[in-house]
A and B are shown apart, each in its own frame.
Chain A
Amino acid sequence: DADVTQTPRNRITKTGKRIMLECSQTKGHDRMYWYRQDPGLGLRLIYYSFDVKDINKGEISDGYSVSRQAQAKFSLSLESAIPNQTALYFCATSDGQGAEKLFFGSGTQLSVL
């Protein structure tokens, strides 16, 4: 089983719809992140959380919100989806130790029509 699981893997939605992307992890890490990846651009941080009571905005948080329901769960919501939110979304975790390397989920390809 994957250590970082994202659902759904693919989603097509319409402009104006609310959508939630979910992430769960079995690595026992406190730190969780949401990134988006667009062709020709580097990964961009949307939100991050260092523990259940900690939520921080990243570089591109406008139009997104998050919820850290438990240490293992971190969900990303698009309140009213727009076409330029079409992207590949990744959840990631880290243990906050040493190099703090990231462990990524398999990604969610979101298309907003």
Chain B
Amino acid sequence: GQNIDQPTEMTATEGAIVQINCTYQTSGFNGLFWYQQHAGEAPTFLSYNVLDGLEEKGRFSSFLSRSKGYSYLLLKELQMKDSASYLCAVRDSNYQLIWGAGTKLIIKP
């Protein structure tokens, strides 16, 4: 079966750095997405990786290793507004999105 694994919850301190991991086993691979979802709100797009390596976008970076079935989202200089759930999703060989359950990130002052 297809599976996306990410930690259920993480806690970090304001101003620090946190890495949220995502491992996947899917039927084929056509890209990996990270979305941010604040409580009670809609998911919003953060990043997209289709080739191995690091994609940097401001305080957020996303890394992909296709051979390892692994990605991470790196958040730097954490702010209280970064408290949210972070959803990892993989597009499989049928171009269907498979979603992880999300990682709830709690930022403490």
Chain A interface (Cβ < 8 Å from any Cβ of B):
4, 40-45, 59, 90, 99-107
Contact = CB atoms under 8 A, between A and B. Distances in A.
A107 B99 contact: no
A99 B99 contact: no
Interface residues of B, number: 23
A104 B44 contact: yes
A40 B97 contact: no
Given A99-B31, A99-B48, A45 B101 contact: no
A45 B97 contact: yes
Nearest to A40: B101
A106 B45 contact: no
B27 interface: no
A101 B43 CA distance: 11
Given A104-B42, A104-B44, 13 more contacts: A42-B4, A42-B89, A42-B98, A42-B99, A43-B97, A43-B99, A45-B97, A90-B42, A90-B43, A99-B48, A101-B45, A102-B35, A107-B41
A31 B103 CA distance: 27
Interface of A, secondary structure class, is loop
Interface string B31-68: 10101000011111100101000000000000000000
A103 B50 CA distance: 19
Contact of B43 (A41, A44, A45, A104): A104
B65 to A, nearest CB: 19
A41 B42 contact: no
Nearest to A105: B42
Contacts of B102: 42
